[in-house]
């Protein structure tokens, strides 16, 4: 194979109450990465287009480059003769705005590792690619959290029960919820949104939080959109981060008034997501949230879809 092109979707991390441990994939937007065989050994980034013009093409500073280098290094350690002189050239097409809270760095990282793995004849399984994709997150925000990369890679809802050792559980994909994601034209770096978080929580908040996380998982398995929406309640992270997102309270109130069963911050923000019982409610919710941001002079873009069960998909192979 000379070239593989992969699409990886946007993801909603945290899902309200489940900070750093739960995320799901949506249908669009997403990033597309082409991996091509190169005669120059190592990993290079030939192009970054779309919404990622400002991203570095230095493979040591670009999340996709870091992850594919980590993958190649691992393969070279396992089979030096086979992989020593392998060269991979990456071309990134960003459909996801950077710093949006939609898993922008994860989408290109996941698309890149899936494309590179396929280019090399798929030596590793999808699941085995996760630690390499997580290395990209470490570069992006200083913490190798997996709640964006895991759903972008595997699709649906993914739970990270433990980071050390890594224990990732691919949950069922509920078919009932419709998801509205609103991306306001604001930028918030994950690194900055993590700095505002308190290092310790009260027992009272923790009790509320684990009750909600458990209820969220129950809602997923019962395909119960009302329960899932109720379980987005977050006593720990949302109060700190809401202050970083102008218009957050108004947009959330607008979503709930328009019929969403729940609404919270997507990942570290500034995007928001809401869950609804039907496509038409989800569309109305999107329009209401856009209006709420517009009232404050902030442009925003809505996306409506069901949960994306496929995750990263190979678009073409040559």
Of 63, 137, 261, 284, the catalytic one is 137
Q: Which of 31, 89, 135, 147 binds ligand HSE (CB under 6 A)?
A: 147
Return the number of the residue (126 or 194) whose C-beta is nearest ligand HSE. Answer: 194
**Run of H or E residues at 32:** strand 22-38
Does the footprint of ligand HSE cover residue 271 (CB under 6 A)?
no
Cα–Cα–Cα angle for 14, 130, 53, nearest 5°? Answer: 75
Give the count of beta carbons closer than 10 Å to the beta carbon of residue 264.
25
Token pair belonging to 5: 């092109």
Token pair belonging to 133: 């994709």
| From 52-60, 160-168, 187-195, 278-286, span contacting ligand HSE (CB under 6 A) | 187-195
CB of 40 to ligand HSE, least distance (A): 33
Of 34, 190, 261, 284, the catalytic one is 190
Rounded to 5 degrees, φ, ψ at 176 are: -75, -40
| From 86-94, 142-150, 173-181, 216-224, span contacting ligand HSE (CB under 6 A) | 142-150
**Run of H or E residues at 169:** strand 166-170
| From 30-38, 87-95, 175-183, 189-197, span contacting ligand HSE (CB under 6 A) | 189-197
Does the footprint of ligand HSE cover residue 14 (CB under 6 A)?
yes
**Torsion angle in degrees (nearest 10) through CA of 6, 12, 14, 20:** 20
Q: Which of 6, 8, 10, 13 binds ligand HSE (CB under 6 A)?
A: 13
The span from the CA of 196 to the CA of 175, in Å, is 35
The span from the CA of 263 to the CA of 265, in Å, is 7
Rounded to 5 degrees, φ, ψ at 45 are: -110, 115
CB of 91 to ligand HSE, least distance (A): 24
Active site residue 137: yes
CB of 194 to ligand HSE, least distance (A): 5
The span from the CA of 284 to the CA of 169, in Å, is 33
Give the count of beta carbons closer than 10 Å to the beta carbon of residue 208.
17
Does the footprint of ligand HSE cover residue 190 (CB under 6 A)?
yes
Total binding residues toward ligand HSE, as defined by CB under 6 A: 14
Enumerate residues 15-74 that contact ligand HSE by CB under 6 A: 19-20
Q: Which of 268, 271, 284, 305 binds ligand HSE (CB under 6 A)?
A: 268
The span from the CA of 232 to the CA of 142, in Å, is 26
Distances (CA, A) of 225 to 151, 172, 255, 277: 19, 14, 15, 6
* Residue matched to tokens 């980034």: 45
| From 11-19, 33-41, 111-119, 217-225, span contacting ligand HSE (CB under 6 A) | 11-19
Catalytic positions, written as ranges: 137, 190
- Which residues sit at the interface with ligand HSE, rule CB under 6 A? 13-14, 19-20, 101, 103, 145, 147-148, 190, 193-194, 267-268
């Amino acid at each position: 194979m000379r070239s593989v092109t992969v699409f990886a979707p946007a993801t909603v991390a945290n899902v309200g109450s489940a900070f750093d441990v739960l995320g799901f994939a949506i249908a669009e937007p997403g990033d597309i990465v082409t991996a091509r065989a190169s005669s120059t050994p190592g990993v290079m980034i030939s192009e970054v287009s779309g919404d990622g013009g400002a991203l570095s093409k230095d493979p040591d500073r670009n999340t996709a480059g870091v992850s594919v280098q980590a993958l190649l290094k691992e393969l070279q350690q396992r089979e030096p003769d086979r992989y020593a002189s392998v060269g991979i050239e990456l071309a990134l097409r960003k459909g996801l705005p950077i710093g949006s809270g939609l898993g922008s760095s994860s989408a290109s990282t996941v698309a890149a590792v899936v494309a590179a793995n396929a280019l090399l004849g798929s030596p590793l399984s999808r699941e085995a690619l996760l630690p390499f994709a997580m290395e990209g997150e470490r570069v992006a925000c200083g913490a190798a959290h997996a709640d964006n990369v895991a759903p972008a890679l595997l699709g649906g809802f993914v739970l990270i029960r433990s980071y050390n050792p890594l224990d990732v559980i691919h949950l069922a994909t509920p078919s009932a919820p419709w998801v509205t994601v609103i991306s306001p034209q604001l930028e918030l770096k994950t690194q900055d949104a993590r700095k505002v978080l308190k290092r310790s929580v009260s027992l009272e908040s923790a009790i509320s939080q684990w009750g909600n996380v458990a209820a969220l998982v129950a809602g997923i398995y019962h395909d119960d959109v009302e329960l899932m929406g109720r379980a987005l309640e977050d006593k720990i992270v949302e109060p700190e981060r809401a202050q970083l997102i102008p218009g957050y309270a108004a947009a959330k109130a607008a979503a709930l008034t328009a019929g969403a069963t729940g609404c919270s911050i997507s990942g570290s923000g500034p995007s928001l997501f809401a869950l609804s019982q039907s496509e038409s409610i989800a569309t109305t919710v999107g329009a209401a949230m856009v209006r709420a941001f517009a009232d404050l002079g902030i442009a925003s873009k809505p996306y409506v879809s069901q949960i994306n069960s496929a995750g990263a998909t190979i678009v073409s192979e040559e």
